[in-house]
Amino acid sequence: MMIKRFLGKSVTEAMNMVKNELGENAVILHTKRIKSNNIFKFWEKEQVEILAAHEGKQQERPKQKSDHHKAVKQDFKSRIFEADDQVGVTKKDYNSIENEVSNIKDMVAEIKKTLSGSPAIGESGQIAAKTLKDEITASLRKKGFSQELIDKFIKSVSEKNEITVDNFKQLFREYLQSELSSEYEAFEFKNKINVFIGPTGVGKTTTLAKLASNCVLNESKKVGFLTLDTYRIAAVEQLKIYSEILNMPLEVAYNTSSIKESLENLSDSDIILVDTAGRSHRNKMHMKEIRRFLDSIPEKDIFLVISANYNIEDISDIVDEYNFIDDFNIIITKLDETSKQAVVMNVLHKYKRKISHITFGQNVPDDISGLVVSDFIEKVLKE
Ligand SMILES: Nc1nc2c(ncn2[C@@H]2O[C@H](COP(=O)(O)OP(=O)(O)OP(=O)(O)O)[C@@H](O)[C@H]2O)c(=O)[nH]1
Ligand SMILES: [Mg+2]
């Protein structure tokens, strides 16, 4: 018979030592808790001493789990409980030790994941808040959403909900649907006179031709053109071609004082579409001139035409320069030329002004439509 003394920090540890050295069939002779003598280990208040015996050679551990293994394990556990009874450790204590060990294992696994650089996703699917915020920001920026819109979304939503990897897309969808007015009214001209303004080359004349064609072809309206763009020789020619194809009258006003007369010449039209020269919003002289001719046109609706190719900072500069006008619609052109369709949401989110139309190609009259915000949100989120 072989008798040996084992010292462990806990019953589990001491029993593991017994098991490793003497095997599963060792006999526990005596178990007790003892105080540590080492003054440097004063926090280790107690140790567990087990005196165990085994007949014959040290037992070889079974290599694979089997029924035999389970039976031995069961036997082993019941021996521990017997031993524990002697030192005053109950079955409940043993379970709580087991739980604690398993909690520590989980914590270590989570720390390992964090240190290895991958996001620490816990059992609930939650992700470390900062990492998640960065990931959301990166994926929405890629789609073209502005930083301002993303920040407002994260701030407003995280006050009410816990954002997780799984729910963030749905929360973002709900945020856009509630923040961006999604009431759709089919577009119709409310005023007889409609003026199109905006930077150079954004598609003002082309958009005006698309709208005129739709009025003539679909609504059988009488449309007249007035152009104030006499800066480029080709500008009047461009509108003349459309007016001839559509059989519509065209007036050219060379200065502000002739605008009144030109409008009178078009008085029997149902709708008058006024084209203007592209003007830089950064040029004070140009902006003054726009104010002057807008003042000289009576009751009218104004459409600010902006290209989707601009970034939100440029768009902000443009819209801010035109903020002297109380009310204007925005038309966003050239959506076919950008992968960042979210520009439409950025504008709606920032300005709360109506986007009356979007255009997506050079074809007159097909490549234009009204904006159904809710449908557009779905389209952008799917891409
Ligand atoms: N891809 C694309 N091109 C467009 C769109 N709308 C207009 N264009 C093109 O953009 C170019 C400029 O269009 P215009 O209508 O002359 O632009 P504008 O704003 O009147 O230009 P200015 O009068 O010089 O200020 C033309 O080649 C158009 O065919 C669009 O929605 N998509
Ligand atoms: Mg033009």
What is the reported pLDDT for 116? Answer: 46
What 3-state DSSP class applies to 74?
helix
Rounded distance between C-alpha atoms, residue 21 and residue 61, angstroms: 10
328 pLDDT higher than 90: yes
Atom of ligand 1 lying closest to residue 359 CA: 31
Mean pLDDT confidence for 295-313: 94
User: Ligand 1: distance of its center to the CA of 204 in Å?
Assistant: 6
222 and 155: one domain? no
Per-residue burial over 48-81, b if 16 or more Cβ lie within 10 Å, else e, is: bbbebebeeeebeeeeeeeeeeeebeeebeebbe
- Single out the residue in 117, 152, 179 at which a domain terminates: 179
Task: Estimate to the nearest angstrom the gap between the alpha carbon of 3 and the chain centroid.
Answer: 68
Atom of ligand 1 lying closest to residue 232 CA: 24
Would 170 be classed as within a structural domain?
yes
Distance between terminal CA atoms of the chain?
76
126 pLDDT higher than 60: no
Per-residue burial over 140-161, b if 16 or more Cβ lie within 10 Å, else e, is: beeebbbeebbeebbeebeeee
350 and 211: one domain? yes
Would 143 be classed as within a structural domain?
yes
Question: Residue 204: CB within 6 Å of ligand 1?
Answer: yes
Mean pLDDT confidence for 254-276: 94
24 or 122: which leads in pLDDT: 24
Nearest CA to ligand 1 atom 4: 362
85 or 146: which leads in pLDDT: 146
Would 37 be classed as within a structural domain?
yes
166 and 304: one domain? no
| Angle (CA) 345 346 349, round 5° | 80
Would 253 be classed as within a structural domain?
yes
Question: Residue 361: CB within 6 Å of ligand 1?
Answer: yes
pLDDT band for position 269 (cuts 50, 70, 90) = very high
Helices (H), the chain: 11-22, 67-87, 91-115, 129-142, 147-160, 168-179, 204-219, 233-246, 259-265, 284-295, 312-321, 343-351, 373-382
- Structure-token pair, residue 152: 């407002």
137 and 229: one domain? no
Inter-residue contact 8 to 50 (CB < 8 Å):
yes
254 and 140: one domain? no
Would 122 be classed as within a structural domain?
no
Inter-residue contact 3 to 51 (CB < 8 Å):
yes
- Single out the residue in 79, 99, 119 at which a domain terminates: 99
User: Ligand 1: distance of its center to the CA of 95 in Å?
Assistant: 75
Pairing of strands 355-359, 329-333: parallel
Would 104 be classed as within a structural domain?
no
Task: Estimate to the nearest angstrom the gap between the alpha carbon of 41 and the chain centroid.
Answer: 53
What is the reported pLDDT for 355? Answer: 93
What is the reported pLDDT for 159? Answer: 81
240 and 353: one domain? yes
Question: Residue 360: CB within 6 Å of ligand 1?
Answer: yes
pLDDT band for position 118 (cuts 50, 70, 90) = very low
Atom of ligand 1 lying closest to residue 235 CA: 23
User: Ligand 1: distance of its center to the CA of 244 in Å?
Assistant: 19
- Single out the residue in 151, 179, 207 at which a domain terminates: 179
Would 82 be classed as within a structural domain?
yes
291 or 101: which leads in pLDDT: 291
Contacts by 211-216 with C-beta closer than 8 Å and gap 24+? Answer: 211/273, 211/357, 211/365, 211/368, 212/242, 212/246, 212/248, 212/271, 212/273, 213/242, 213/246, 213/364, 213/365, 214/365, 214/368, 215/189, 215/270, 215/271, 216/246, 216/247, 216/248
202 and 173: one domain? no
Instruction: Please enumerate in sequence order all residues whose Cβ is within 8 A of that of 135, keeping only pairs 6 or more positions apart, or say none.
Output: 119, 127
Inter-residue contact 329 to 355 (CB < 8 Å):
yes
279 and 346: one domain? yes
Inter-residue contact 229 to 235 (CB < 8 Å):
yes
233 or 230: which leads in pLDDT: 230
pLDDT tens digits for 205-230?
999 999 999 999 999 999 999 999 88
What CATH number is given to the structural domain containing 317?
3.40.50.300
Instruction: Please enumerate in sequence order all residues whose Cβ is within 8 A of that of 352, keeping only pairs 6 or more positions apart, or say none.
Output: 181
What is the reported pLDDT for 77? Answer: 57
97 or 135: which leads in pLDDT: 135
Task: Estimate to the nearest angstrom the gap between the alpha carbon of 164 and the chain centroid.
Answer: 12
164 and 53: one domain? no
Q: How many CB atoms lie within 10 A of CB 362?
A: 12
* Strands lying side by side in the sheet with 2-8: 2-8, 46-54, 27-35
Mean pLDDT confidence for 289-315: 93
What is the reported pLDDT for 38? Answer: 46
What 3-state DSSP class applies to 192?
coil
236 and 366: one domain? yes
Count of domains forming the chain = 3
What is the reported pLDDT for 282? Answer: 84
Would 110 be classed as within a structural domain?
no
Rounded distance between C-alpha atoms, residue 318 and residue 315, angstroms: 5
What is the reported pLDDT for 68? Answer: 55
8 and 74: one domain? yes
Instruction: Please enumerate in sequence order all residues whose Cβ is within 8 A of that of 279, keeping only pairs 6 or more positions apart, or say none.
Output: 197, 198, 199, 200, 286, 287, 289, 290
What 3-state DSSP class applies to 303?
strand
Mean pLDDT over the full length of the chain: 82
Domain span including residue 154: 129-179
Question: Residue 229: CB within 6 Å of ligand 1?
Answer: yes
Site to probe by mutation for ligand 1, drawn from 362, 363, 364, 367 as the one with most ligand atoms within 8 Å of Cβ, is 362
What is the reported pLDDT for 160? Answer: 79
Rounded distance between C-alpha atoms, residue 358 and residue 336, angstroms: 10
17 pLDDT higher than 80: yes
24 and 94: one domain? yes
